[in-house]
Amino acid sequence: AQSVAQPEDQVNVAEGNPLTVKCTYSVSGNPYLFWYVQYPNRGLQFLLKYITGDNLVKGSYGFEAEFNKSQTSFHLKKPSALVSDSALYFCAVRDQYTGRRALTFGSGTRLQVQP
């Protein structure tokens, strides 16, 4: 079965500092990994995805994520945080082996950027 873990319920960072939101996954085959952001009382917005190729993936709003197969991780990063980045972030995975199209989401990490 596929699963995702986001070990931090909340991450606090000062504006202008780099940020990292952690994600680890478990799948049987090759993973397809996604990051989404959710603002209060809104749906989820797609940020970026890893399918294959370069381990560093660039996405929307200056976010990037690094895929690490040996550590089964897909951490979200941004070099310089903005107050407007404060939101709820979800990591999600699909398993190439099972072929299930449903995305499995983590429990989410709340990012709080202080001015």
Partner 1 sequence: DAGVTQSPTHLIKTRGQQVTLRCSPKSGHDTVSWYQQALGQGPQFIFQYYEEEERQRGNFPDRFSGHQFPNYSSELNVNALLLGDSALYLCASSIAGTGLHGELFFGEGSRLTVL
DSSP secondary-structure letter at 69? Answer: T
Distant-in-sequence, close-in-space partners of 89: CB < 8 Å, separation ≥ 6: 6, 21, 35, 36, 37, 38, 47, 76, 108, 109, 110, 111
Nearer to partner 1, 77 or 110 (CB): 110
Buried/exposed 66-92: b ≥16 CB within 10 Å, e otherwise = bbeeeeebbbbebeebeeebbbbbbbb
Q: Is 101 in the site for partner 1 (CB under 8 A)?
A: yes
| Residue whose entry in the numeric block shows the structure tokens 């399918």 | 51
Q: Is 46 in the site for partner 1 (CB under 8 A)?
A: yes
Only one of the segments 15-23, 65-73, 74-82, 95-103 lies at the binding site for partner 1 (rule: CB under 8 A); that segment is 95-103
Only one of the segments 20-28, 65-73, 75-83, 96-104 lies at the binding site for partner 1 (rule: CB under 8 A); that segment is 96-104
Nearer to partner 1, 43 or 115 (CB): 43
> Which residues contact partner 1 by CB under 8 A?
4, 32, 34, 36, 41-46, 49, 51, 90, 94, 96, 99-108
